[in-house]
Structure 1
């Protein structure tokens, strides 16, 4: 997990943007194309509360969303369409969203897996630093690696 080191300047990327408040996010669940930016459905315990999308014409090419995991900590997720990756869209959207969350008096944080180096780079380039790790294990029956 990553915590912000403060606000950073916006990147030089320029594209049409649209902001979505909590009540405007509900229709986006039907599309299901933003599994990292938004939850799969409305979850009252950690609702999606804010999102920003980048457009190429009328097509959404990337979306960053924030879920209120606690009353003061909002987690950021990002999705960028495959053909638009590597162009700075993810970093741009995460930076915008992080800065807006800070402006609203909340603490943004960014979570990703240890193996997702591209996501790590987005976090770092958006002004986050690694703060803690989460580890999960799954018990497997009849697993004996030392036989």
Structure 2
């Protein structure tokens, strides 16, 4: 089943609404939308910090999903702020950009000379766990709540040198990740692998998506070359659980003291 970009965006909005406990229409609104965070059935099974706070935008509204015990404090801080100001809040860190395939830009590139491709699916992917160095492509965990479903890898001289994998983040969205060993970069392997994997996923009627840190320019280039377009942005983590990289230097007191 082939999905066009509008259909894909609709599926994404529906999934984000489940993840953030808001409505699909909230992403079309102007300004800020606040919603109480909940672990809804069907959400993407990422680890959740406690307290939980995540901010996302698809280009219009800024949706803020936050645990009840800090909702009012966060709302008072964010009200009247611009989207840029909210994403720059000192108790948030890390921005993730997410891309979806754009059929008008997608194309299949030939395999570079000297490499051959192989595919593994389902439990067969566990055989690849014996080969380290591809942590962005596969989970290396048979019990991960977002299981690996497909992996396509490039070999050179009987060695795995590049790999793209997809995790089943939800029933409708599979996330693509890719790794290329340093010696074999800038040969087009990442683009070829991501493009081939994207086609395989879409043929199953599933939406592939590609996530990348806002600072990872090289990975963003792979997304563009593979025919992906940006669809949404969200924060990566908050500082409330004491795991921020500068926790010992900066303290943000939002959580009520016992």
Please report the TM-score for the alignment, with normalisation by the length of structure 1: 0.91
- Pair 1:12 & 2:110 matched: yes
- Mapping of 1:62-81 within 5 angstroms? 62-81=162-181
CA root-mean-square deviation: 1.8
Aligned mate of 1:100, from 165, 179, 200: 200
Shift of 1:144: 6.0
| CA apart distance, 1:137 | 2.6
Q: What are the ranges of 5 or more consecutive residues in structure 2 without an aligned counterpart?
A: 1-97, 241-246, 253-258
SS at match of 1:91: helix
- The answer to whether structure 1 residue 86 and structure 2 residue 161 are counterparts is no
Q: 35-44 vs 73-82, which deviates more? A: 35-44
Instruction: Name the CA distance, whole Å, in 1 between partners of 2:116 and 2:238.
Output: 41
- 2:100 counterpart of 1:3: yes
Q: For residue 44 of structure 1, report the CA deviation from its aligned partner.
A: 4.5
| Map of 1:113 onto structure 2 | 213
Q: How many residues matched?
A: 145
SS at match of 1:134: strand
Provide the residue aligned with 2:250 in structure 1: 143
> Tell me, what secondary structure is at the counterpart of 2:137?
coil
> Residue 53 of structure 1: which of 153, 157, 160 is its match?
153
Change (3 A) 1:52 1:144: closer
Partners of 1:128 and 1:42 in 2: how far apart?
29
Identify which range, 119-128 or 2-11, moves more after superposition.
2-11
Q: Distance in 2 between matches of 1:91 and 1:142?
A: 40
- How far off its partner does 1:8 sit? 2.0
